[in-house]
């Protein structure tokens, strides 16, 4: 059986045990001392995201009403944004049925200032394909949920159990043609991040 | 796509070098990516600590790889994932074909996986009646062009947008002469969206596999791995045994290094963690050896298994930039590929460790601190010792060794060479002399140091 053959070959060729390094120093370093919101906004904007600081859900509604025409299919995973189809009500539907979704609005509880990434688990996505198949994506996060670097991000995730989770740091993009950056590869053509202050 | 060629790196590079403006453009484009990497790295004060930490984590992985593989397998199974083991490329391809066949699937969408390039999966499946569509834009372009990727991160970096426009016009129906990257990307988006929505099977690579949790992490900018995997009934992920990292928190080191080193972005758009299958769907992971356990046993070369496939060593390499990825005639080009390939087939890839100036730039940018240029130098010695070095080089080296071991021969040889340079420059300044190809030969001095020294002594007396 290949399994045992491979494991035996690996075992006989691996060398004396080298110890794991200590990650403690990295956990305490924070890249810069700049306030997290400013750092997050600068980096996420450079990566093609639209970042808004908003006081409440009402402010988000106003912006979304301006950006998206009535009548397009919008799915929201947020309680309190009731104008839209509630994601929790459609989780049983076939993933393919979301192909015509124009905008999905989801919640994140962890954002990373050094790279603009937002952590979303399957629970927050409701359906795994939603944040990918939508033409546009909006994510709401509280300013208190920002951390400086990926070190602190994984400290916060800890040993959480999830079926699937992803860091999403911007709109889908590619530079495969002559290194020209094009926004909107296969996933969302835009990412709007609403930071609740 | 395989590189079906018997030509050496030097011959393939010579062909690439015929079009000088294109070589300059290729060189500058990749150097620009390297420059972006520098800017990103220099923004992180703890960059060197991150590199050192990543290197040490990988060192630990390689010292206990069998234990971590077993732990990963046990946890993945606990999560509801099916794990397969493949000793070589043939077994890997067969496992995947069987999985598809059992489900009556003959069309599959695939995101980037250099391992499947190494195993020539696409050709194998095609022969067995399975249609595979690559969904990474760059890979789709080279697939339509009938070529292999020329770079592990930027698969079609060797192609001009006008050429891509022609390919899309022929295969995807874009307007003739259209070469705007935005419009071409949109054309691919529409074409591949239909593919994602109609394929029952999706194959992806794996960037990191976590022993502690049994989850795999896949990084893309386009979102193509996720579109494929989430819409398909069965998600197959192929990984080499060296993709293991011990704990989830170690991602906090590797994800900070990977994309900054690759393209200068702080992180890819998507870093997706697959832990359990979606309800009613399947995840299968194929763990592949294909020579890696042998490399683990080669003390001088085992560090090459630390590689996280960022491509930084290619972008910085003066030889890669000026010879193009296809000249390496192996799935993984550039400096790291030139260390990995001879392990698979020393004879076929004997030329690759010589395709380097040993300048060391690759080792300087490597995010996991692989001693790349030292390993290239060591491979040269192994290859010569095993008798695989190119014939012309072997003869030249033997002649040199013979000459240098006899003072009389050395003196007369030097005299003949100086005379030849002086009176018959055409004898050395010609295409038969490989040194002349890209350089003017130097002017020969009137006398050797030895002659000058003995004359000087005579004068003093």
Q: How confident is the model at residue B428 (pLDDT cuts 50, 70, 90)?
A: low
Residues B283 and B331 grouped into a single domain = no
Find the mean pLDDT for residues A96-117. Answer: 97
Q: Give the chain A residue whose CA is nearest to the CA of B155.
A: A176
Q: What is the 3-state secondary structure (H, E, C) of A45-84?
A: HHCCCEEEEECCHHHHHHHHHHHCCCCCCEEECCCCCCCC
Burial per residue of B281-309, b for 16 or more beta-carbon CB atoms within 10 angstroms, e otherwise: bbbbbbbbbbbbbebbebeebbbbbbbbb
Least confident interval from A180-194, B32-46, B249-263, B440-454: B440-454
> Min CA distance, B296 vs chain A (Å)?
6
Q: What is the pLDDT of residues B39-66, one digit of tens each?
A: 999 999 999 999 999 999 999 999 999 9
- B134, B147, B265, B267: best to mutate for the A interface, most A CBs within 10 A: B267
Q: Higher-confidence residue: B397 or B139?
A: B139
Cβ contacts of A91 on chain B, cutoff 8 Å: none
Residues B116 and B257 grouped into a single domain = yes
Contact between chains at B251 and A150 (C-beta distance less than 8 A):
yes
> Min CA distance, B435 vs chain A (Å)?
33
Cβ contacts of B221 on chain A, cutoff 8 Å: 172-175, 185
Cβ contacts of A172 on chain B, cutoff 8 Å: 221-223, 269-270
Q: Is B314 exposed, middle or buried (0-12, 13-18, 19+ CB in 10 A)?
A: buried
Q: Higher-confidence residue: B428 or B14?
A: B14
CA A115/CA B432 separation, integer angstroms? 54
Q: Higher-confidence residue: B112 or B454?
A: B112
CA B310/CA B101 separation, integer angstroms? 34
Of A16, A171, A177, the CB nearest to B181: A177
Q: Is residue A22 part of a domain?
A: no
Largest CA distance in chain A: 65
Contacts with B458 (C-beta within 8 Å, 6 or more apart), sequence order: none
Residue A32 pLDDT: 67
Q: Is residue A159 part of a domain?
A: yes
Least confident interval from A92-106, B118-132, B337-351, B385-399: B385-399
pTM of the entire predicted model: 0.92
Q: Give the chain A residue whose CA is nearest to the CA of B305.
A: A14
Residues B126 and B49 grouped into a single domain = yes
Residues B353 and B452 grouped into a single domain = no
- Count the domains in chain A: 1
Of A18, A116, A180, the CB nearest to B60: A18
Q: What is the pLDDT of residues A2-15, one digit of tens each?
A: 999 999 999 999 98
H or E element: which one contains A178? none
| Other Cβ atoms within 10 Å of B416 Cβ, number | 10
Q: Among the three residues B339, B362, B394, which one is the final residue of a domain in this structure?
A: B394
CA B33/CA B61 separation, integer angstroms? 30
> Min CA distance, B69 vs chain A (Å)?
8
Of B53, B137, B197, the CB nearest to A174: B137
Q: Is residue A134 part of a domain?
A: yes
Q: Among the three residues B266, B293, B320, which one is the final residue of a domain in this structure?
A: B293
Contact between chains at B182 and A133 (C-beta distance less than 8 A):
no
- Count the domains in chain B: 3
φ, ψ (nearest 5 deg) of residue A140: -105, 135
Residue B2 pLDDT: 45
CA B69/CA B246 separation, integer angstroms? 10
Q: Is residue A117 part of a domain?
A: yes
Q: Is residue A13 part of a domain?
A: no
Q: Give the chain B residue whose CA is nearest to the CA of A164.
A: B274
Contact between chains at A31 and B69 (C-beta distance less than 8 A):
no
Q: How confident is the model at residue B461 (pLDDT cuts 50, 70, 90)?
A: low
> Min CA distance, A79 vs chain B (Å)?
24
Find the mean pLDDT for residues A28-38. Answer: 83
Q: Is residue A14 part of a domain?
A: no
Query: What is the domain extent for residue A95?
Result: 32-196
Mean pLDDT (chain B, rounded): 93
- Note whether B56 and A21 are within 8 A (CB): yes
Residues B373 and B267 grouped into a single domain = no
Q: What is the pLDDT of residues A151-190, one digit of tens each?
A: 999 999 999 999 999 999 999 999 999 999 999 999 999 9
Q: What is the pLDDT of residues B220-233, one digit of tens each?
A: 999 999 999 999 99
Residues B270 and B315 grouped into a single domain = no
Cβ contacts of A185 on chain B, cutoff 8 Å: 137, 185, 189, 221-224
Contact between chains at A6 and B155 (C-beta distance less than 8 A):
no
Q: Is residue B174 part of a domain?
A: no
Residue A164 pLDDT: 98
Q: Is residue A20 part of a domain?
A: no
Q: Is the pLDDT of residue B176 over 90?
A: yes
What percent of chain A has pLDDT above 90? 89
Q: Give the chain B residue whose CA is nearest to the CA of A94.
A: B231
Q: Is residue B153 part of a domain?
A: no
Strands (E), B241-331: 244-245, 270-274, 282-288
Q: Is the pLDDT of residue B4 over 70?
A: no
ipTM metric:
0.97
Contact between chains at B230 and A14 (C-beta distance less than 8 A):
no
Residues B268 and B205 grouped into a single domain = yes
Query: What is the domain extent for residue B439?
Result: 406-460
Q: Is residue B185 part of a domain?
A: no
Domain of residue A102, CATH code? 3.40.50.10420
Cβ contacts of A129 on chain B, cutoff 8 Å: 226-227, 230-231
């Amino acid at each position: 059986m290949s399994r045992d053959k491979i494991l035996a070959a690996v075992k006989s060729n691996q060398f004396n045990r080298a110890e794991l390094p200590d990650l403690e120093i990295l956990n305490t370093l924070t890249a810069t001392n700049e306030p997290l919101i400013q750092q997050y906004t600068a980096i996420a904007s450079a990566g093609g995201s639209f970042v808004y600081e908003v006081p409440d859900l009402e402010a988000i509604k106003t912006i979304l009403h301006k950006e998206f025409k009535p009548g397009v299919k919008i799915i929201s995973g947020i309680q309190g944004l009731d104008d839209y189809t509630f994601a929790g009500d459609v989780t049983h539907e076939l993933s393919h049925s979301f192909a015509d979704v124009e905008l999905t609005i989801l919640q994140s509880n962890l954002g990373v200032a050094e790279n603009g990434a937002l952590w979303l688990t399957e629970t927050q996505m409701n359906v795994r394909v939603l944040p990918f198949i939508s033409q546009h994506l909006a994510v709401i996060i509280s300013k208190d949920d920002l951390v400086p670097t990926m070190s602190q991000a994984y400290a916060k995730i800890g040993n959480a159990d999830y079926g699937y989770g992803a860091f999403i740091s911007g709109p889908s993009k590619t530079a495969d043609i002559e290194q020209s950056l094009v926004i909107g590869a296969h996933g969302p053509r835009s990412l709007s991040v609403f930071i609740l202050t | 796509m395989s590189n079906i060629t018997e030509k050496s790196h030097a011959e393939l590079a010579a062909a690439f070098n015929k079009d000088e403006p294109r070589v300059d453009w290729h060189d500058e484009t990749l150097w620009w990516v390297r420059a972006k990497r520098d800017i990103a790295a220099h923004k992180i004060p703890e960059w060197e600590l991150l590199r050192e930490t990543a290197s040490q984590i990988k060192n630990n992985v390689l010292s206990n790889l069998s234990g971590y593989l077993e732990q990963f397998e046990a946890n993945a199974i606990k999560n509801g994932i099916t794990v397969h083991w493949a000793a070589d490329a043939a077994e890997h391809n067969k496992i995947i074909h069987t999985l598809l066949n059992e489900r009556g699937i003959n069309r599959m969408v695939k995101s980037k996986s250099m391992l499947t390039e190494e195993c020539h999966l696409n050709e194998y499946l095609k022969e067995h009646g399975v249609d595979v569509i690559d969904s990474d834009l760059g890979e789709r372009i080279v697939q339509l062009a009938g070529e292999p990727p020329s770079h592990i991160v930027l698969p079609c970096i060797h192609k001009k947008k006008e050429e891509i426009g022609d390919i899309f016009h022929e295969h995807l129906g874009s307007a003739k002469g259209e070469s705007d990257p935005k419009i071409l990307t949109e054309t691919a988006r529409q074409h591949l969206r239909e593919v994602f929505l109609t394929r029952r099977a999706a194959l992806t690579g794996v960037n990191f596999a976590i022993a502690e949790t049994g989850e795999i992490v896949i990084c893309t900018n386009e979102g193509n791995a996720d579109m494929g995997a989430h819409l398909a009934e069965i998600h197959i992920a192929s990984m080499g045994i060296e993709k293991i990292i011990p704990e989830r928190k170690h991602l906090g080191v590797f994800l900070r290094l990977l994309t900054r080193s690759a393209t200068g972005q702080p992180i890819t758009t998507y870093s997706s963690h697959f832990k359990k299958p979606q309800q009613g769907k399947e995840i299968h992971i194929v763990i592949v050896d294909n020579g890696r356990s042998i490399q683990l046993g080669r003390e001088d070369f085992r560090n090459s298994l630390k590689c996280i496939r960022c491509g930084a060593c290619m972008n910085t390499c003066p030889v890669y930039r000026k010879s193009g990825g296809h000249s390496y005639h192996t799935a993984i080009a550039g400096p790291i590929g030139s260390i990995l390939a001879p392990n698979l087939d020393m004879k076929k890839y004997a030329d690759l460790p010589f395709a380097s100036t040993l300048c060391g730039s690759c080792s300087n940018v490597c995010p996991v601190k692989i001693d790349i240029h030292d390993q290239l130098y060591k491979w040269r010695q192994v290859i010569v010792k095993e008798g695989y070095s190119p014939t012309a080089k072997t003869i030249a080296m033997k002649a040199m060794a013979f000459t240098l071991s006899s003072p009389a021969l050395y003196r007369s040889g030097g005299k003949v060479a100086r005379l030849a340079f002086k009176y018959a420059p055409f004898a050395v300044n010609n295409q038969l002399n490989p040194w002349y190809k890209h350089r003017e030969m130097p002017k020969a001095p009137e006398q050797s140091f030895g002659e000058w020294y003995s004359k000087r002594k005579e004068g003093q007396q």
